[in-house]
Structure 1
Amino acid sequence: MQGSYQIRALLPVEIRTAADWAAREGWNPGRQDAACFASVDPQGFWGGFLDGQMIACISVVNYGQSFAFLGFYIVAPEHRGKGYGYALWQKALEHAGGRVVGLDGVVDQQENYRRSGFELAYRNIRFGGVPSAGLAVSTGFEVQVLTAPTAELEALDARVFPAPRRAFWQQWLGAEGHHSVAAYRDGSLAGFGTLRPCGSGCKIGPLVAVSRPAAEAVLARLLQELPPGQEVFLDAPEPHAAAVDVARALGLEPVFETARMYRGLAPQLETDLIFGVTSFELG
């Protein structure tokens, strides 16, 4: 490393810059993702500054006392391979302390993550495209707009995410451009999901449901908000065959994949309820 290199927590405007960098990498974050992510852990976003200029970024966002998620790990191309990124990586991971840490990393970096103590749990696959098929939706669901977190939502979310995230939900459900709905069957919550605008098209995530019909009921309602001819992206856990089948049934094709990895004991999640990951950057 050369010059004066400083590592520190990012300011809000710098967090937005990190999201812009992620867009340039082709990760296509949502337009409001940076603000939503910062609401979870304002001290969880870090940057490496060379002679006062940000050249690297990373997030290690703490959820409570036991879990953190790592994302936004980017080094400016002209500064890669010089040790700046790894120094930032080490410093930011100190923020997690003894928490279990998850990440969704590009597959070709999997070996590097393993050397840092992360182990592969499964792959996530991003499906994308303009939907070319409709959904045969069961009539047994009542679908309502979701504007604030409820006890039922948090209980279902706890089955697919290893830590409470009320602050996230409060920001996420009220973010500009986000459309969130919940499906109920016989008065009980059966699924929920959010459609949000991105730099390219829109993403659906999270999409969580107790059954494929419930997931399709949520999806059908969200897709009503999709402008004609607009691309949509859905990130599905590869081991969940029904999620992959739903994405393919819409006419979407694989466009990207990640390696879901954990440092520490991998949480026991009900991945068969996850039809769409919330975000590759925040879990």
Structure 2
Amino acid sequence: MTGTITIRPLGANEICLAVDWAAQEGWNPGLADAACFGVVDPEGFLLAELDGEPAATISVVNYDARFAFLGFYIVRPDLRGRGIGWKLWQAGLAHAGGRSVGLDGVPAQQANYAKQGFALAYRNIRFAGNPATGEAGDTVDLADLPFGLIEASDGEIFPAPRAAFLKAWLSAPGHIGRGLLRGDRLAGWGVVRPAPAGRKIGPLVAEDEAAAEAVFRALRAAAGSDDIVLDVPEPNPAALALARRHGLAPVFETARMYRGAVRPVALEKLYGVTSFELG
């Protein structure tokens, strides 16, 4: 291959390039995702340039000293098969250091990721459709709840603390959050956000199916008449049932894979994944 490859971090105002490329690949990221992603690890978004022109992107976001998440691994279509992606992949994993790393990859790449030490944990299924109108019911605005309740609940379904990301996610333009209280306990909560195609629900977290149903219906009401996208962890049968009950149909899937040991999470409480790009 001729030409000079350089690799550098993306600036905060450049992360939108990776998000735009993801949208072109059909991943349908949220419209405000870029601003939220940048707060986690400003050095975790990398760009490979060929003779000064963008050629490939990857993100390896370090959440804490033990865990990182890999996403946005995209090589420009006209430059694939030239070794640029491999160089960038190595740089991304070097940024993670000795941390365990998670990713959501398309099944076709599962064997390649396995060669790099990643093991399949489970599948995530993307569902989409246009459910019947919901209602707010007994749910409340997440902004009216103590952040500590939300952070503690998120800690049950994600393998690392991510307070800065959560605060950005909850307050991003167009993001609407609803929560369900049972006494002083947060029984369920979730966020719906605009995307190029419809609105995406994620995360959706609940202690049982009834709480998940109530929050889902509230988020559906907040989304108006737009189509809904929900990414469901396959090991949670109640989450699969909720999606199908509301007329959502599977459109594609990812393989959640990890390299290294990861703190166990309560998948039975996870009804909707936050993001395929950042976990």
Q: TM-score, normalised by structure 1?
A: 0.95
Q: Would the aligned equivalents of 1:133 and 1:249 in 2 still touch at CA under 8 Å?
A: no
Match of 1:256 among 246, 252, 257: 252
- Name the amino acid aligned to 1:12: A
Deviation at 1:152, TM superposition (A): 1.6
* 1:22-171 matches, cutoff 5 A: 22-132=22-132, 142-147=138-143, 150-171=147-168
- Name the amino acid aligned to 2:246: L
Deviating 4+ runs (over 6 angstroms): none
SS at match of 2:186: strand
- Name the amino acid aligned to 1:177: G
Counterpart Cα distance in 2 of 1:204 and 1:282: 15
263-272 or 168-177, larger mean C-alpha shift: 263-272
SS at match of 2:38: helix
Counterpart Cα distance in 2 of 1:53 and 1:6: 10
Unaligned runs of 5+ in 1: none
Counterpart Cα distance in 2 of 1:145 and 1:8: 40
Counterpart Cα distance in 2 of 1:145 and 1:87: 45
- Name the amino acid aligned to 1:162: P
64-73 or 180-189, larger mean C-alpha shift: 180-189
23-32 or 180-189, larger mean C-alpha shift: 180-189
SS at match of 1:269: coil
Paired residues, number: 278
Q: TM-score, normalised by structure 2?
A: 0.96
Alignment partner, residue 184 of structure 1: 181
Counterpart Cα distance in 2 of 1:183 and 1:247: 19
Deviation by residue 1:13-71 (Cα, 9 ceiling, x = unmatched) = 32101100000000000001011001111111001000000110000001011110000
Counterpart Cα distance in 2 of 1:220 and 1:131: 9
Q: Would the aligned equivalents of 2:159 and 2:262 in 1 still touch at CA under 8 Å?
A: no
- Name the amino acid aligned to 1:13: N
SS at match of 1:2: coil
Structure 1 residues 149 and 82 mapped into 2: Cα distance closer, same or farther (>3 Å)? farther
Counterpart Cα distance in 2 of 1:277 and 1:146: 18
Counterpart Cα distance in 1 of 2:189 and 2:127: 19
Unaligned runs of 5+ in 2: none
Structure 1 residues 129 and 94 mapped into 2: Cα distance closer, same or farther (>3 Å)? same
SS at match of 1:13: helix
Deviation at 1:131, TM superposition (A): 1.0
Deviation at 1:133, TM superposition (A): 7.4
Deviation at 1:149, TM superposition (A): 6.0
Counterpart Cα distance in 2 of 1:225 and 1:182: 13
Q: Would the aligned equivalents of 1:121 and 1:266 in 2 still touch at CA under 8 Å?
A: no
* 1:177-256 matches, cutoff 5 A: 177-228=174-225, 230-256=226-252
- Name the amino acid aligned to 1:178: H
Deviation at 1:124, TM superposition (A): 0.2
Deviation at 1:227, TM superposition (A): 2.4
Counterpart Cα distance in 2 of 1:12 and 1:268: 31
